[in-house]
Amino acid sequence: MKKWNFKKWKVRQVDITLLDDKVIILNLYFTQLACLLLALILIFFQKNNRLFPMFAMSDPLQALLWGGGFAAAVLAADLLLTRWVPEEVTDDGGINDKMFRNRPLWHIIILCFVVSVCEELLFRGALQHWMGPYWTSIVFALIHVRYLRHWLMTGLVFSISYGLGWIYVQTGMLWTPIIAHFLIDLVMGCILKYRKIPANETDSR
């Protein structure tokens, strides 16, 4: 009978340059579909039918102001980080750059909308109802594996998640964190798409 040598099995970091563009996009949509299905299952087992009431827009202006204001604060903090913190600390391995660099603007908008709806439905709509904003934010930070190498970025992701949970509690509308999440991702994606690439980076591609 053949014996398995588990000592030879090693977990290796994925080289982003070896990943095909289509693979990255398919992986993104697959994970978002998983988030959506998990969110629907969790909400189904929670008391009262909360799914449709969560998407009620009782005060569109309030949702837009809270969501837009929080997004502006996060983007301002990120701008300060990129200005004062070494680039290797905020490095995500090139995943975001590969995700948005050659993507058409219309596709970036769709991506950001899908991500914001699916993730906020899972984390704010489903998990926060059971776990509260603190533990939900820990889970949110943990799933962003590419940032776990740097405590500063992990702390930033946790803080953003906690803030999204807080504005959800303040307004009572799931659309508030969805708007904030969408605007943050959209602006970040557009920055990556339209920023000028240094000559040395262009040569290495």
- pLDDT tens-digit readout, 72-101: 999 999 888 888 877 766 666 677 788 888
Measured CA to CA, the distance from residue 85 to residue 191 in angstroms comes to 18
Alpha-helical regions (H) of the chain? 21-44, 51-54, 60-84, 95-100, 105-120, 128-143, 151-171, 175-194, 199-204
Q: How confident is the model at residue 197 (pLDDT cuts 50, 70, 90)?
A: low
Predicted pLDDT of residue 62: 96
* 116-129 per-position pLDDT tens digit: 999 999 999 999 99
Q: Taking residues 40-49, what's their average pLDDT?
A: 84
Q: Which residues contact 54 (CB under 8 A, 6 or more apart)?
A: 121, 125, 174
Predicted pLDDT of residue 46: 82
Phi and psi angles of residue 98, each rounded to the nearest 5 degrees, phi first:
-70, -30
pLDDT, greater one: 150 or 193: 193
Residue 71, Cβ density class (10 Å: 0-12 exposed, 13-18 middle, ≥19 buried): buried
pLDDT, averaged across the chain:
83
* 151-160 per-position pLDDT tens digit: 777 888 899 9
Give the highest mean pLDDT range of 38-47, 94-103, 158-167. 158-167
Long-range CB pairs of 16-23, under 8 A, 24+ apart, other chains included = 16/93, 16/94, 16/95, 16/98, 17/94, 19/98, 21/98, 21/102
Q: Taking residues 166-192, what's their average pLDDT?
A: 96
Q: Find out whether 120 and 129 touch, Cβ atoms under 8 Å.
A: no
Q: Which amino acid is at 156?
A: L
Q: Which residues of 176-204 are buried (b: 16+ CB within 10 A; e: fewer)?
A: bbbbbbbbbbbbbbeebbeeeeeeeeeee
Residue 147 reports pLDDT greater than 70: no
Residue 2 reports pLDDT greater than 80: no
Q: Taking residues 67-74, what's their average pLDDT?
A: 97
Measured CA to CA, the distance from residue 127 to residue 124 in angstroms comes to 6
Q: Taking residues 148-172, what's their average pLDDT?
A: 88
Q: How confident is the model at residue 145 (pLDDT cuts 50, 70, 90)?
A: low
Q: Find out whether 98 and 111 touch, Cβ atoms under 8 Å.
A: no
